[in-house]
Amino acid sequence: MKSLLYFFLLLLCAVSFPEDAFAEKIARTAGGEMVLDGELDEARWAEAIRFGDFKQLTPHIGMPPGEKTEVLVHYDADYLYVGIKAYYRDPQAVFASVLERDQPLGSDDYLAVIIDSYNDRINALGFETNPLGTRGDFELRANGDEINRAWDTFWDVRTRRTPYGWNAEFRIPFASLRYTPGAETVMGFKFIRFIKTRSEKLIYPLNNENVTGAEYHLANTESITLHNLEKKNPLYLRPYLTGSLARNALLNPEGSAYRSETELFPGKSLVAADALDRLLSNSGFDLKYKLNNHNTLDLTANTDFAQAEADDRVINLTRFSVLLPEKRYFFLENANFFSSSMHDHRFFHSRTIGIENGLNVPLLGGVRLNGTAGSLQYGALNLQSRGIDSEGIEAKNFTVLRLTRNSGSSDSYLGGIVTQQLSTESGDYNRLAGIDGRFRLSENVLASFFAAGNRDHQLPSERNLALGTRINRFPANGFEYDYRYREYQENFQPAMAFIDRRNSRRLTIRNGYRRSFKNHPWLSGIILGNWNTRYWIAANGAPEYSQSNLYWHLLPRDGSVLTLYFPLVQEDRLYAPWQIAEHITIPSKRFFMNKLEFYYQSGKGKRHQWSFWTLLGGFYGGRQQSFTPEISYIVNQHFNFSLTFEYNRLQFPDEYASVGRAELIRTLYGGRLNYFFSSRLSVKTLLQFDNQSQTLGANIRLRYHPREGSDLYLVYNHNMNIARNDVTPERPLFASQAVIVKYTRTFAF
């Protein structure tokens, strides 16, 4: 463990960081009256710097756009202003439907401003809107390779329909940006426009069209020098208050019948007095203080568990874990400061904190400090949970430290991470220390590596390492490749990480070719290639799994995607029987499987979108038939819905079954119905039914969003038993019901 840390520090000292050379200058305006109305007619706009040489990203990268776009940028002591004029030959073609903040805008016409505020081509902040003035914001990390749409900050925008199309007027406080104050501050800017009816995405600037992910790649930015920016130190306090009434059906100790248990404002035993405990248990706060333009301090008390959100149900037909997303506000904010190079893992997965044995474990509070210091970027996190004696869950302390040193000339970095989970009662611990790096060898070639060690009080101190390396090239045109190797040894069991396949080695070799077309009448691009991957058991080197397939991707001009994996050949050796269902056990032996996988997704040019996925072929001595159709439809700006259905049929030899037929059918039905009264008031309904649990789940959420940083939620959750008479004792109609009221408000100082 110590040697890893020493090596990490040595690497940090070895990197040089050249600086960027040229930036276009823009004068600061004197201030004065600015009406945020989308008109762009104030005198100060005459002083703005202008851009307009947009190019297509899709369908034909680098080609001239079908419509004209003009961008204006100016600023004063407090705000950065960006005005965008989106021209249309037919202004009636402008399409907008999304009203709720932070919802994906890809189904609408939209405009986006992306700001690389340190001009380091590593991290950036994005602000986007549609013709209805709906706002979305996000963080980019690792030169656009990673995106965090959970990031929120204070800013504003106004839009207006015009005789030539529509305008957007962005007003972004400098207090919401991260930058280096001083006489001259250089920032990188890029601007994105999507034209729905043409399925056309435009960008300015397009400095290099052949880089991987040209839309978010920060080589495609315009450097602008801003003058005399001052430091800003805002403080945000976000308290929340929640109340709930829940009823659950529980089996009695004798197992003979179900009884109903009701909880009103449940307490967490934080204090002895019952009334005070209920109040404290259902309230808390997050506090954010910007120490300076580079560093932010966050505090949390009784961390919010995002009770208004519901997880999507997942059918898992593998023997391995499924990654579930984080939804808690405290962990979503600035998550990029704690992410490390991902080779089938996350060395820190925040969902491991406060969720144990399927239960929400009370988080008493914690602190987070993150920011930058020159070329260094860091994140430090510490939280304390409270134990649940009745469930045998101990109180724990969680610590995460992440440090990276970035190259000023590219998105290359060297980094390290340390995590610790410590039981504060017994002293049991689980620790991880690791290093990782990413090196841009050219504009399209990336190399990366990681190495880590893990110590657990219950595991031996040998064979507890993880290591991996990767090199890949994904240009817009030409030959592509992706070569990876990684190993997780048998005693590498980090408690705060997500690793789907532990005690394994993996080698992956991918070679292919991709081409984009400039003027093809119906085709935007093609990608063809071969994928080969092989797994071994790390403990003894025994071969376990392999897959080889060809992949075929067609990218039509309308923005649709057609993908085929065929032929697809798998080999899997089970060294122990696998009980895939209560009555079906797959024996330990060597299996060969031939499959076909197909996926189609329609373009975004119409009100409806649909997709279809299917997987057909062998499955561990039997046959698999799986398919998932999905459709979404925008009725108008107030109402939209989506429907999905997943069907899996597995047929095995009769000897696999202990009783009945050796057949397994897993289905999942899902539906989302969304109604928006306005941008402030909405109702969303999520319905899910799967035949394994035989329960119909509903999450109905009313959201009132009166102002930025404030939300009132009224949520109704229930799980209804459909197959009530198939078991003894008979199940009640409702397995669980809950009504939740939750209010959050952000105060800015």
Segment 204-218, tens digit of pLDDT: 999 988 887 889 988
Give the residue-averaged pLDDT of 67-73: 96
Residue 166 forms part of a structural domain: yes
Calpha distance 473→447 (Å, rounded):
9
Domain count of the fold of the chain: 1
Which carries the bigger pLDDT value, residue 402 or residue 281? 402
pLDDT in tens, 13-22: 433 333 444 5
pLDDT grade for 611, boundaries at 50, 70 and 90 = very high
Answer for the pair 8, 416: CB distance below 8 angstroms, yes or no. Answer: yes
Residue 297 forms part of a structural domain: no
What's the N-to-C CA distance of the chain in angstroms? 43
Computed over every residue of the chain, the mean pLDDT equals 90
How much is the CA Rg of the chain, to the nearest whole Å? 27
Residue among 404, 405, 413, 451 at smallest CA distance from 432: 451
- Tell whether the model's pLDDT for residue 702 goes beyond 90: yes
Any idea which residue has 């198939």 for tokens? 726
Residue 520 forms part of a structural domain: no
Calpha distance 546→592 (Å, rounded):
10
- Please give the full DSSP string across 403-425, using - where no structure is assigned: EEEE-TTSS-EEEEEEEEEEETT
pLDDT of residue 61: 92
pTM here is: 0.89
Residue 153 forms part of a structural domain: yes
Calpha distance 687→696 (Å, rounded):
7
Residue among 277, 173, 185, 280 at smallest CA distance from 233: 173
Range of the domain at 132: 31-229
Residue 240 forms part of a structural domain: no
pLDDT in tens, 409-428: 677 899 999 999 999 889 99
Cα-flanking dihedrals φ and ψ of residue 174, to 5°?
Answer: -65, -25
CB contact set of 537 (below 8 Å; sequence gap of 6+): 503, 504, 505, 544, 575
What does the block give as tokens for 489?
């040894």
**Which domain CATH number covers 198?**
2.60.40.1190
Strand pairing partners for 568?
549, 595
pLDDT of residue 31: 63
Residue 727 forms part of a structural domain: no
Cα-flanking dihedrals φ and ψ of residue 6, to 5°?
Answer: -60, -45
pLDDT of residue 16: 37
pLDDT in tens, 273-299: 888 888 888 999 999 999 988 899 999
Residue 598 forms part of a structural domain: no
pLDDT of residue 337: 82
Answer for the pair 283, 300: CB distance below 8 angstroms, yes or no. Answer: no
pLDDT in tens, 579-608: 999 999 999 999 999 999 999 999 988 999
pLDDT in tens, 1-59: 444 444 444 444 433 333 444 567 777 777 667 889 999 999 889 889 999 999 999 99
Residue 332 buriedness (CB in 10 A; 0-12 / 13-18 / 19+): middle
- Tell whether the model's pLDDT for residue 441 goes beyond 80: yes
What does the block give as tokens for 81?
């202003």
Using DSSP's 3-state secondary structure scheme, residue 669 falls into strand
Range with the poorest average pLDDT among 147-156, 668-677, 707-716: 147-156
Residue 206 forms part of a structural domain: yes
Instruction: Give percent above pLDDT 70 in the chain.
Output: 95
Q: How many CB atoms lie within 10 A of CB 392?
A: 9
- Tell whether the model's pLDDT for residue 466 goes beyond 90: yes
What does the block give as tokens for 692?
């394994």
pLDDT of residue 32: 65
Which carries the bigger pLDDT value, residue 149 or residue 28? 149
pLDDT of residue 306: 65
Give the residue-averaged pLDDT of 606-617: 96
Calpha distance 122→141 (Å, rounded):
6
Give the residue-averaged pLDDT of 122-150: 90
Residue among 380, 377, 436, 434 at smallest CA distance from 408: 377
**What are the strands, taking DSSP E only, across 174-323?**
182-195, 200-204, 222-229, 235-251, 258-264, 283-290, 295-301
pLDDT of residue 22: 53
